[in-house]
Chains A and B, each alone.
Chain A
Amino acid sequence: MSWISKTFSSSIGRKIVMSLTGLFLCTFLVVHLVGNLQLFKHDDGAAFNTYSHFMGTNPVIRTIEWGLVLGFGFHIYEALMLTRRNQTARPQRYVANHSEQNSEWTSRNMGILGSIILVFLIVHLYNFFWRARFGTLDPDINQNDDLYTLVVSSFKQWWYVLLYVAAQASLGYHLWHGFGSGFQTLGLNHRKYTPLIKAVGYGFAVVVSAGFAAMPLYFFLFTDAQGHLSSTVAPLVHSLTLALK
């Protein structure tokens, strides 16, 4: 079996694991974002709590969850191994290096961006995932755990919102390079399709990071402590809805 371990410990082998896990995590982001859009429903969180109950108890989802753990685990592990290799490859830095003239900032700072996302991930998992799975939350009107109220109260704290928005900006930049880079590492480069893949990657980065960042910003800026539209915003939304009708 030595050929397998040799393949995956080679520089290209590690990059291939990096890209496969990265692109898999992109699919997770889509599911997570679409599901969480239910936070914007004006139903006191009924739909969101039903959804989170399903995600926390469905055996298929619980099995895929382990795939997600492995995806994150390998992505982070390979990042560490590659970073160590890359740093040893140039022990002495240049006195003057104008890399900004030959490459994009995001592509050179994937490690820093990823580290910010990792810090966010730990805080995020503890605050929502851990409490929902292992803690005790009050039941909502449908007798589901009321995760919605926890979300709203969390997003009423300015430092928490700041962390979220900063993390989503990092995620956006990480995806800006990472999406297209994943395809290139897998050898999927073609003069017909690569411009399209890159364009989709840029769009994906903007939509995903803006979508996630909209959630804490919405609750912090536009709602009261119960998640209802605040009295200043409500009439505006009401008249807008009427105008659209």
Chain B
Amino acid sequence: MTDVLNALALFSNFVLVPAIAYGSQLALGALGVTLVFGILRFSNFAHGDTMAFGTMVTILVTWWFQSMGLNLGPLPTAILALPFGIAACAAFVLASDRAVYKFYRKKKAEPVIYLIASVGIMFVTNGVVRFIIGPDDQKFADGQRFIIKAREFKQMTGLSEGISIKVSQGLTVVTMIVVVAALFWFLNRTRTGKSMRAYSDNEDLALLSGINPDRVVMVTWILTAALATIAGTLYGLDKSYKPFTYFQLLLPIFASAIVGGLGNPLGAIAGAFVIAFSEITVTYAYKKFAGYILPEDWVSGGLLQLLSTDYKFAVSFIILLLVLLFRPTGIFKGTGV
């Protein structure tokens, strides 16, 4: 019995907990991408760097709060600073929309032109962020670090395997659930949300029925900025803030959004967890795990690893390929690519 519990603890510590936290971070990012794709109809490559920008402002405000001695006790101060980050990020994306995307919207440009324009915005944002906060790692997490530490868990339960859960991980999951619930309520219940969905389903009909397209675009960008800043800040709290990694986050985020079905918010969440879990479960070495649940003489000296961790990204891309081949619109019906 203890062996089974040990195996479970081991599995939770190294697979379940990290995968759920990582999946939640990806889900928030993928929601932003899918929202832009669904309503404004283009793949926004600048999303990773938008996250970096929003997080940067949050960090600057956090530092300011910390210098004034403001804090939230066990929770990170960054939560207090989050609204400022969201506001600044919204202003930034609205400005970039006014400066760049609006021009193409007027010309009714092809989605691929938007996409290339967004690559341009990506590089500019990238530069702005590095110019303001620099390319280095920044630390801004404070408050308590762990909800439960591996060592404490071992003492509490008497098991030989521990589970550790970080505050940032718990916070990520809770925030993800709250944000997703709020987003769905907004899209399905409010007038603005409904007009956004109408605009997304059929632009011409929506215009005919008197929906103001500028307002829809504006609200979409503000929501995107909020999602990006929240996702970026949570990611930064859990791991660390470095502009370069945010740029790299773009890949798994897009993979999640596409696997789930681009343009479908529910799909973005499902896709994010599929990507996070597959990356971790397929490359986990089950040696120790098997050691607990199998009879001793069954366990060989090998690592019991399906694939080496080198192939971690191959796993998510194979899933991406399979989905695109057999269900081009994603697991949930999205707009297709």
Q: Do A and B come from one complex?
A: no
Interface residues of A (CB under 8 A from B): none
